[in-house]
Amino acid sequence: MAHTIKKMNLKKVKLITIDTFNNQALSEKRLSRREANSIYSEVKNRLESEFDFVEVVKSGTGRAAEKYSDLKIDFLFIDADHSYEGVKADFEAWSPKVKEDGIIAFHDSNFEPVKQFQSEIEDWVMFDSLENLTVWRRKITSA
């Protein structure tokens, strides 16, 4: 995403990426705190030095949502905990921050728990789906 933003020369863009860096989604082996901190430092240094509009945050998504309580965003990409409860928690924590007519994309939307949660979404319109990605737009409320 950062490369695309830079290539398109988009102005006033802030890309915040949030991850625990504990490797839970990639394998059953949870990384040690030292290993996780090492990966976090490497990713943070690499991305933030190459892209001045990127902020790398080491956190769970719920805690990060609290940290950014006043944030208003145009685009939200959900790709963290793929359980029903995890997707629902991410949506509930972050969707209020998405601006009217903003977009949420769900990665791994072909996973059953993600599909189940998406079937319950209200006040959003699904407008695109491709393989394992589903994109929703917040409905515009009339004033």
pTM confidence score: 0.81
| pLDDT at position 24 | 57
| pLDDT at position 137 | 94
Average pLDDT, the chain: 89
CB 106 within 8 A of CB 112: no
Q: What sign results for the dihedral spanned by CA atoms 73, 77, 79, 84?
A: positive
Per-residue pLDDT band for 135 (boundaries 50, 70, 90) equals very high
Is domain 72-143 given the CATH code 3.40.50.300 in the classification?
no
Q: At 49, give phi and psi (nearest 5°).
A: -80, -30
Q: At 119, give phi and psi (nearest 5°).
A: -65, -15
Domain boundaries, given as residue ranges, for the chain: 1-58, 72-143
